[in-house]
Amino acid sequence: MTDLSKLLNKEQFEAATAPDGPLLVLAAAGTGKTRTLVYRVVHLLERGFRQEDVLLLTFTNKAAREMLNRVEEVLPGSTYRMWGGTFHSIANRMLRINAQILGYERDFTILDSDDQKTLMGNCITDLGFQKKEFTKREVILSHLSTLVNKGMNLSSYLDNNTTDIAEYDAPNIIRVANKYIERKRELGAMDFDDLLVNAVRLLKENPEIREYYQNRFKHILVDEFQDTNMLQSEFVNILAEKHRNVTVVGDDFQCIYSWRGSDFRNIMDFPKRYPDAQIVKLEQNYRSSPEILALANDCISHNAEQFKKELRPTKKPLHIKPIVHRVYRDADQSAYIVEAIRACLLDGYSLKDIAILYRSHFHSIDIQLNLARAHIQYNITSGTGFFDSAHAKDILAFYRLIVSPTDYLAFTRAFGLLPGVGENTIGKLWSKLELHFNPSNPMEREKLLSIAPAKARPAIEGIINAYKEYFMQEKSPARESGFVINLLDAFYFDLLKKNFNNPDERRQDILELAQAIDKKDSLADFLADVAIMTNSELAEDSNMGAEADTVLLSTIHQAKGLEWPVVIVPWISETMFPSAKNENANIPEERRLFYVAITRAKERLYLCSPSYKLNYSGGLEPLEISCFIKELNKSYYEATGLPLDAVLKSNFGSYSGWSGGVSGKKPQIGGYGKWKNSRRGTSTWW
Of 392-396, 568-572, 634-638, least confident by mean pLDDT is 392-396
Query: Contact, 489 vs 483, CB < 8 A?
Result: no
Question: C-alpha distances in angstroms, 194 versus 44, 149, 184, 506, 539?
Answer: 32, 10, 10, 29, 39
Look up residue 488 and give its DSSP letter. I
Q: Residue 581: pLDDT band by 50, 70, 90 thresholds?
A: low
Over 50: is that where the pLDDT of 190 sits?
A: yes
Q: Of 174-178, 292-296, 676-680, which one has max mean pLDDT?
A: 292-296
pLDDT score recorded for residue 480 = 86
Average pLDDT, integer, range 489-501? 88
> Distance between CA 606 and CA 565 in Å, rounded?
11
pLDDT (mean) for 335-359 = 97
pLDDT at 665: 34
Percent of the chain residues past pLDDT 70, beyond the cut = 88
- How many CA atoms lie within 13 Å of 563's alpha carbon, on the beta-carbon side? 14
- 546-571 average pLDDT score: 92
Q: Are 609 and 327 in contact (CB under 8 A)?
A: yes
Indicate if the pLDDT at residue 382 is higher than 90.
Answer: no
Find the mean pLDDT for residues 106-126.
Answer: 90
Across 518-563, the runs of DSSP E, i.e. the strands, are: 551-555
Q: What percentage of the chain has pLDDT greater than the value 90? A: 60
Question: Which one, of 234, 254, 255, lies nearest residue 246 by Cα?
Answer: 234
User: Worst-scoring range by mean pLDDT, 165-174, 306-315, 337-346, 512-521?
Assistant: 165-174
The three-state DSSP-derived secondary structure of 336-376 is HHHHHHHHHHHCCCCHHHEEEEECCHHHHHHHHHHHHHCCC
The pLDDT of 268-278, averaged and rounded, is 97
pLDDT value at 157 more than 60: yes
Looking at every residue in the chain, the average pLDDT score rounds to 86
Amino acid 535: pLDDT: 54
Work out the pLDDT band at 431, boundaries 50, 70, 90.
very high
Q: At what angle do helices 61-74 and 33-46 cross, to 10 degrees?
A: 50
Among 148-157, 197-206, 571-580, name the most confident range.
Answer: 197-206
Tell me what pLDDT residue 389 has: 86
pTM, entire model:
0.84
Average pLDDT over residues 386-415: 90
pLDDT at 668 over 70: no
Average of per-residue pLDDT across 498-502: 82
